[in-house]
Amino acid sequence: MKVYNYPCVLTSPTAVALGRFDGVHLAHTAVIKSAVQKEEGLTSAVFTFCDNPNKEASQVLCTEEEKQRLIEECGIQVLINATFESVRNLSAEEFVSLVLKKSLNAKAVFCGYNYRFAKGASADVNTLKALCEKEGIQVTCVNEYVCDNTTVSSTAIRNLLSEGDVSRAKKLLGRSYTLEGRVVHGNAIGRTIETPTLNLDVSKNKLLPRFGVYAALAHIGENTHKAVANIGLKPTVGSDSPTVEVYLLDANGDFYEKEVTLELVAFIRSEQKFENLDKLKEAIAIDTDKAKQLLK
């Protein structure tokens, strides 16, 4: 997949999927794959933002690296990243003529049923169809995507994650919710209670689910390990900012500087402050038993 920064000029005619695609969930991939299944002779493309215009949801479901990888896995040939600032003041007419026609050389456009664009998000899909028709651009609007009796949306997934419901979030995403990070040094308290943990340096922009303990799978290189993950402020020992700690159930050793993809499988319990480290150790033993059952 080739990646360009807007403004750019594409010489080959394209079939373009439009959207923020901030979660690359099932509804997003439905739009993206529609562009992949384009007419013969068109290059499949995605036009999206490389920054986050939604300040009310400052933490993201996908980092930019994850987002690009997931879009590429859909089969897209070209990705065009635009900053929100570069298009925010364009009228609907300017967006179609300058972005879709002149820059992207679009012959076909695909979007979700609730897609909005132009200054102040003032234009909808009906406006898009009317303006594109004048430019000879075909518009396909993908209908609402329903899964598990829920309209699939980034907001719905955020709500499920805030409740710790990673299993339902998985259904709407079409994949497990993951946290990626490099193993860094922590305070080593886990070793003193015989449960050494991997401390992950997760992007500060990544949305963390409900604080608590999860059954998880830790993917390290080519190996996958069963694990217990603790996400939060570690109330027993204290932490100034949220941390992601992983206790491997079937491996030990030196994993410092290794990259880990943590796949959250099931919520076990909320964060809890214990009287002392002995009580914490007892709770971890119970968490471990539950995780083993959940990960069978």
- Over residues 140-169, the mean pLDDT reads 97
Residues 6+ away with beta carbon under 8 Å from 61: 22, 23, 24, 25, 154, 157, 158, 173, 177, 207
Least confident of 55-64, 162-171, 191-200, 271-280: 191-200
Q: How far apart are CA 126 and CA 113, in angstroms?
A: 10
List pLDDT tens digits, range 222-278.
Answer: 999 999 999 998 766 666 789 999 999 998 888 999 999 999 999 999 998 877 888
Least confident of 18-32, 175-189, 227-241: 227-241
Q: 0.95 cut: is pTM over it?
A: no
Cα-based distances in Å from 26 to 22, 114, 146, 230: 12, 15, 9, 28
- Per DSSP, the residues of 195-242 read ---EEEEE-TTBPP-SSEEEEEEEEETTEEEEEEEEEE--TTT--SS-
Q: How far apart are CA 20 and CA 12, in angstroms?
A: 23
Q: How far apart are CA 78 and CA 268, in angstroms?
A: 41
What sign does the dihedral 69-72-78-82 (CA atoms) show?
A: negative
Domains of the chain: 2-150 (3.40.50.620), 176-294 (2.40.30.30)
Per-residue pLDDT at 191 exceeds 80 = no
> What residue has token string 């570690």?
234
Closest CA to 140 of 112, 167, 180: 112
